[in-house]
Amino acid sequence: MLVLTEAAAARDWVRRAQAEGERVGVVPTMGALHAGHVSLATAALAECPRVVATVFVNPTQFGPGEDFARYPRDLAGDLAKLEAAGCGAVFAPAVETLYPTGAETTIDVGSVALPFEGAIRPTHFRGVATVVAKLLAILPADRAYFGQKDYQQTVVVRHLARDLCLPTEVVVCPTVREPDGLAMSSRNAYLSPDERERALCLSRALRTIERLVSEGQRDAAKLRAAGLAVVESTPGVEPQYLELVREGSVDRVEHVGGPTVVVVAARVGATRLIDNVVVG
């Protein structure tokens, strides 16, 4: 597995593979990899003979006072996992490579970046859209793989790809969970054993809603209240939002009439966690 830090070498790797007639997949990550990230590489390898993963803790998607400085970093461990998964290359650039001195261009995808995560982290999706555009400019892959875990991010990235006429197809892969239901996240490492237990209320709330929908409940207000009750009744957990949106969008629904995503975010101690499930 090649480890590349320079943009020109990374772009060459993709172009050479494509010149040989191979489809190329890219898996963008911020490192501290877990089985959820590895599942994206595995999905990419099932469809693309050549896969490049990126490991880059993107400073612009962290707000002031967020966890950029203490975000977990483990490049050696990440490289071992990506090599074992079968990636052909990893692009792990320095900050200056993606943000050269004087870089001021940013990408604002508009309304899909405003609610939910965007309301709580106002500059987050500008950072995400900008770095994904840069990564796909450097790595003009055929397909880019993202996790359903970050649902609103998948909506933002799909809009980015469509609106900027990017040649890369966006693929979204299912959320990988711990055996007890907690969605895997690099930020789970911040949780104390007690918080780790309380954090289960997010997936429990989503499962409660899933069950109610399967029993015939379609009223979004009732479903939302039932889910929120699960989160609110867990001490030490502060819900931030729980909403039902039309799949593929961030538009709230009043009635579950088709594929609907239940998105939830909560603060567990000092750690923010998000999760979602598709119902209907």
How far is the C-alpha of 280 from the C-alpha of 76, rounded, in Å? 42
Kindly tell me which residue out of 54, 168, 186, 188 binds ligand AMP, with binding defined by CB under 6 A.
Answer: 186
Q: Name the one range near ligand AMP by CB under 6 A: 29-37, 69-77, 132-140, 194-202.
A: 29-37
Tokens of 231: 């989160």
Find the shortest distance in angstroms from Cβ 72 to ligand AMP: 10
Find the shortest distance in angstroms from Cβ 174 to ligand AMP: 7
Side chain identity at 257, as an amino acid letter?
Answer: G
Please pick, among 37, 124, 159, 255, the residue that the annotation labels catalytic. Answer: 37
How far is the C-alpha of 186 from the C-alpha of 133, rounded, in Å? 23
Alpha helices (runs of H) in the chain, residue ranges in sequence order: 7-19, 35-47, 75-85, 95-98, 117-120, 124-138, 151-163, 193-198, 200-214, 220-232
When the beta carbons of 40 and 89 are compared against ligand AMP, the nearer one is 40
If binding is defined by CB under 6 A, does position 92 make contact with ligand AMP? no
When the beta carbons of 30 and 231 are compared against ligand AMP, the nearer one is 30
Find the shortest distance in angstroms from Cβ 20 to ligand AMP: 27
When the beta carbons of 13 and 145 are compared against ligand AMP, the nearer one is 145
When the beta carbons of 41 and 212 are compared against ligand AMP, the nearer one is 41
Judge whether 230 and 244 are in contact, CB under 8 Å.
Answer: no
User: Per-residue string for binding with ligand AMP, 144-183, x by CB under 6 A?
Assistant: --xx-xx----------------------x-xx------x
Kindly tell me which residue out of 13, 24, 37, 90 binds ligand AMP, with binding defined by CB under 6 A.
Answer: 37
Q: Which residue is nearest to ligand AMP (CB)?
A: 147
Q: Is 37 a catalytic residue?
A: yes
Q: How far is CA 65 from CA 30, 70, 104, 270, in A?
A: 18, 11, 21, 12
User: 79-98 burial by CB neighbour count: b if 16+ within 10 A, else e?
Assistant: bebbeebebbbbbbbeeebb
Q: How far is CA 147 from CA 6, 13, 53, 197, 222, in A?
A: 26, 24, 14, 23, 28
Binding site residues, ligand AMP, CB under 6 A: 29-30, 36-37, 39-40, 146-147, 149-150, 173, 175-176, 183-186
Enzyme catalytic residues: 37
